[in-house]
């Protein structure tokens, strides 16, 4: 007798479970890790990714690459997510975190195949992570920040380490000091959106400049704009959110005019509304008028006539930054333009930068903001520079908040690896092997650094293991000399928080993937299912 088949899931649903599922998830993660593997380190390469619309992106940033790869595999997506979270949290080390997670999984694959329960692996990994994190805290070097000069030195080193793997590596000293200066200009909260980044094509990288104030591109202008003065010292700045244009005051309103005389009156009334506004702005003593909404041709000519400068349709973000830098407040009416709502700065000037004209405010009394103007040959080049600087800015911000640093170039990973290996030997039971596996996995960072640079990885790693066993805590890969070196002395510094975050995120991702033993994937709506069914057609 046939048992009736019980259908639980919709037809076409893909299910797979058990050990095999874990293995296949691990394999998927390997592919993702492989995609960014070669971007690690100062000798890392870039990827060129072309999307469906033909837009090309060239990047070295792990998070950017993974985002653009458009991953659909559910387990592999986890890795993309941790790269993104590392990007959001600390901004740098996105490649390392992906690599580490991939390597953790790779090392525990044989154990899964041999039938070790995933939960035991997970427990061991968690324990090892905790040990590693407390070890980082223990050995990290605190830098005295009381001395401003030394504090700056620290920031510079961290920034240049972050930049060394990027396209701008050759100009890293230039950009590192630029980034540090930019972050130093901010207030205590270090809000990221107060650093404006403007990109102008053309010129060399070294032509990039930092404006201690606000700079934005010339907005759309009407006839009469060229006659306005383009330079003021100590101008009063009015920030408005008003449309200064001759227009219908109310939408959908209709005026009925009985006689021709009244006709003129209506026209005059409209003009007067605008003129009154302009008059008030002029009377307030403001010399520079910025508005979020358009400033029409009549207003432009009116201002030109009275030696005022105006710019309409200023992007919201730029207007806010001007507000932060110059003081004052954004007004939605001209009725109350008193001195305290007007901002001011030392110098306002319109300058030509490459093919664009920029409005630049400098010497602002409340300069809590700054603008980076990036120059470079190609569009992709500038975009990658922007991403690289973003990483560096994040690192500097992190370093200001936490003054603990560790040595980069694989040094900290080697030290942790040694520490975990030593520790594993003291434990009885399965965990010994698993913590040992994690120790081995950590070596992936120095190994990859060597591989990317074309060195003999085995040789260098052996040298490193020996040094670390002898107590050389900060020995890491020396890219320039194809050897090992004390990276703390060589000034390859990274904030400890970056490493802590990378380690925890990677181990969490690995644990997550290990704990999944079944995937149920619903068929896509609209497709799938046996052909011929549905739509009322007979079989």
CB of 386 closer than 8 Å to CB of 403: no
- Compute CA distances 427 → 104, 112, 114, 123, 417, whole Å: 20, 20, 21, 14, 16
Give the active site residue among 57, 64, 95, 385.
Answer: 95
**Footprint (CB under 8 A) of other proteins, residues 48-77:** 48-52, 54, 56, 58, 60, 69-73, 76
Instruction: Report 379-408 residues binding other proteins (CB under 8 A).
Output: 379-381, 384
* Alpha-carbon distance values, 128 to 103, 235, 423 (Å): 15, 61, 9
Half-sphere exposure of 482 (CA within 13 A, CB side): 7
Which CB, 33 or 334, lies closer to other proteins?
33
Euclidean distance between CA atoms 97 and 383, whole angstroms: 23
Q: Which stretch binds other proteins (CB under 8 A): 17-25, 285-293, 393-401, 435-443?
A: 17-25
Which one among 111, 302, 303, 358 touches other proteins, defined by CB under 8 A?
302
Q: Binding mask 162-201 vs other proteins (x if CB under 8 A, - otherwise)?
A: -----x--x------------------------------x
Give yes or no: 64 in active site: no
472 binds other proteins (CB under 8 A): no
Q: Which stretch binds other proteins (CB under 8 A): 243-251, 331-339, 390-398, 489-497?
A: 243-251
Per the residue annotation, which of 39, 94, 98, 344 is the catalytic one? 94
Q: How far is the CB of 341 from other proteins (least distance, A)?
A: 27
Q: Which is nearer to other proteins, 299 or 396 (CB)?
A: 299
User: Binding segment for other proteins among 119-127, 131-139, 187-195, 203-211 (CB under 8 A)?
Assistant: 203-211
Distances (CA, A) of 80 to 66, 69, 86, 295, 403: 6, 9, 10, 45, 29
Closest distance between other proteins and the C-beta of residue 398, in Å?
26
Q: Using the rule CB under 8 A, which residue among 6, 7, 256, 429 binds other proteins?
A: 256
**Cβ pair 445, 100 in contact under 8 A:** yes
Least separation, in Å, of the C-beta of 253 and other proteins? 6
Q: CA 89, 92, 96, 99: dihedral to nearest 10 degrees?
A: 70
Shortest Å, Cβ 86 to other proteins: 20
Residue 61 annotated in active site: yes
Q: Give 381-421 as a DSSP string.
A: HHHHHHHHHHHHHHHHHHHHH--EEEETTTHHHHHHHHHHH
CB 21 within 8 A of CB 13: no
523 binds other proteins (CB under 8 A): no
Minimal distance, residue 364 CB to other proteins, in Å? 23
Contact at 8 Å (CB) between 445 and 40? yes
The answer to the question of residue 250 lying near other proteins (CB under 8 A) is yes
Contact positions with other proteins (CB under 8 A) in 146-165: none
Q: Which of 46, 92, 318, 391 is catalytic?
A: 391
Number of Cβ within 10 Å of residue 158's Cβ equals 29
Cβ atoms within 10 Å, residue 478:
19
Please list the active-site residues. 61, 94-95, 391
């Amino acid at each position: 007798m046939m048992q009736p088949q019980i259908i639980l899931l919709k037809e076409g649903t893909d299910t797979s479970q058990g050990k095999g599922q874990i293995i296949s998830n691990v394999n998927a993660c390997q592919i993702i890790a492989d995609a960014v593997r070669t971007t690690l380190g100062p000798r890392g390469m870039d990827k060129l990714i072309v999307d469906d619309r033909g837009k090309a992106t060239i990047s070295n940033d792990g998070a950017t690459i993974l985002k653009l790869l458009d991953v659909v595999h559910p387990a592999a997506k986890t890795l993309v997510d941790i790269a993104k979270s590392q990007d959001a949290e600390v901004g740098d080390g996105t490649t390392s975190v992906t690599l580490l997670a991939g390597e953790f999984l790779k090392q525990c694959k044989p154990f899964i195949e041999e039938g070790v329960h995933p939960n035991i692996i997970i427990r061991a990994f968690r324990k090892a992570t905790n040990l590693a994190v407390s070890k980082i805290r223990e050995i990290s070097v605190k830098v005295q920040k009381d001395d401003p000069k030394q504090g700056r030195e620290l920031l510079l080193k961290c920034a240049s380490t972050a930049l060394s793997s990027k396209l701008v590596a050759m100009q890293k000293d230039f950009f590192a000091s630029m980034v540090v200066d930019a972050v130093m200009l901010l207030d205590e909260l270090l809000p990221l959106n107060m650093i404006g980044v403007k990109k102008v094509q053309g010129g060399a990288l070294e032509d990039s400049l930092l404006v201690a104030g606000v700079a934005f591109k010339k907005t759309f202008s009407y006839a009469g704009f060229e006659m306005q003065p383009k330079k003021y010292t100590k101008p009063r700045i009015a920030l408005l959110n008003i449309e200064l244009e001759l227009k219908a005051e109310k939408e959908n309103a209709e005026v009925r005019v009985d006689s021709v005389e009244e006709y003129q009156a209506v026209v005059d009334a409209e003009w007067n509304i605008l003129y009154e506004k302009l008059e008030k702005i002029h009377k307030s003593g403001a010399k520079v008028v910025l508005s979020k909404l358009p400033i029409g041709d009549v207003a432009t000519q009116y201002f030109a006539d009275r030696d005022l400068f105006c710019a309409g349709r200023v992007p919201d973000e730029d207007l806010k930054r001007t507000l932060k830098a110059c003081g004052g407040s954004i007004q939605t009416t001209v009725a109350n333009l008193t001195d305290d709502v007007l901002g001011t700065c030392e110098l306002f000037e319109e300058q030509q930068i490459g093919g664009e004209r920029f409005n630049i405010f400098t010497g602002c009394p409340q300069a809590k903001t700054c603008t980076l103007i990036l120059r470079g040959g190609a569009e992709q080049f500038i975009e990658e520079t922007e991403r690289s600087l973003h990483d560096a800015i994040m690192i500097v911000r992190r370093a200001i908040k936490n003054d603990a640093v560790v040595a980069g170039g694989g040094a900290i990973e080697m030290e942790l690896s040694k520490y975990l290996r030593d520790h594993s030997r003291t434990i009885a039971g399965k965990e010994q092997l698993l913590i040992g596996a994690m120790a081995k996995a950590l070596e992936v960072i120095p190994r990859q650094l060597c591989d990317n640079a074309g060195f003999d990885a085995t040789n260098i790693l052996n040298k490193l293991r020996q040094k670390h066993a002898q107590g050389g805590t900060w020995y890491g890969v020396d890219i320039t000399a194809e050897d090992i070196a004390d990276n703390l002395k060589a000034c390859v510094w990274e904030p400890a928080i970056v490493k802590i975050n990378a380690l925890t995120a990677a181990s969490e991702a690995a644990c997550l993937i290990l704990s999944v033993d079944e995937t149920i994937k619903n068929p896509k709506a609209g497709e799938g299912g046996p052909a011929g069914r549905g739509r009322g057609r007979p079989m």
